[in-house]
Each structure stands twice: as C-alpha cells, then as structure tokens.
Amino acid sequence: MFGKLLKYELKSTYKVFLGAFAAYVVIITASWPTLRSGREDISLTLMLLGITALFVMTFVLLFQRYNANLYGGEGYLMFTAPVGSKTLLLSKLVSALIWVAALMLICVYTVIYMTVVVAPGIHGIFSFTVENAGTIASMIVSVALTVLVCIITIYFR
C-alpha cells in the first residue's frame, strides 16, 4: 500500500516540480550567450535568483501540499483509507525527499554549468575535487541530513 500512496503522491506533484525545474534549466542554458559576451554578472545573478526561487518554491509547495492533504478536506478522505497514519506520513516524507534530491541535482547542474562555462581553467577545480573528495562527500551527507531533519521537523511537529 505504501507504493500506491507514493505513486499517487508523486503523480499529483510531478507537473509543478518538473515544470519549474525544466524552466530553470532552459533559462540557465539559454543564458550561455550572455556568459560568452562578457556579461557574466547578469547570468550569475539570474542563476542565483533562479536557484533561490527554486528552493523556496520547492519547500513551500511541499509543506503546503502536506498541510492540505492531511489537514484539509482531502485529509478527511486520506484517513478513512485502510492505511496506518505512519504509512501516510512516510509516503509524504519519501515524496518530499525525492523532490529535494531532484532539486539538489539541479543545483549540481548549475554549479557544473557555471564552472564549465564561466571558468575555463576547469582542470584546477577537478584536481581540487579529487584531493578533497572525503570532505566534499561529508558535506553532501551533512546537507542531506540537515534537509531530512528540516522536513521531518515540519512534518512531525
């Protein structure tokens, strides 16, 4: 039953998230000519504002959907289903983690794109990454755990 709940949760949210993520990637990719024309400040500002907007939109929509699904009119029907409340909450949590992971992939795309297009001396960055792989991996795990704790704190308050 958990799989069905997760499927329907993802099915109900994918249009908004994938649309916003795709729009951001298209806008960032389309800004490539301004990066090559010597106007890096416009593109970098656009990237920074876009990724900030994506973060805010993702978290607001996740929490708004959670609130509406469990405490609104839809929540009345959700709790009449023959499923435990822990399973309902877990499906919401896993769905939120999937969308946050997609957001992190978009952030990685943005960083790689800025690095490749803006900084032509990329071999120095890759050697830095290889030298500090343990530190970077621990930072990624730390960010993932922080996001997980944030979502759990809001969901299970």
Average pLDDT over all residues of the chain: 79
CA distance linking residue 44 with residue 31, whole number of Å:
9
Give the per-residue pLDDT at 38.
66
Q: Name the residue range of residue 35's domain.
A: 2-155
Q: Which pair of structure tokens corresponds to residue 4? A: 């069905």
Distances (CA, A) of 128 to 125, 133, 135, 136, 142: 5, 8, 11, 10, 20
Number of domains comprising the chain: 1
pLDDT tens digits, 102-136: 888 888 888 777 777 666 555 566 666 667 777 77
Report, as ranges of residue numbers, the positions in the chain whose pLDDT lies below 70: 34-41, 117-130
Query: Structure pTM?
Result: 0.76
Return phi, psi of residue 155, to 5°. -70, -40
Give the per-residue pLDDT at 89.
82
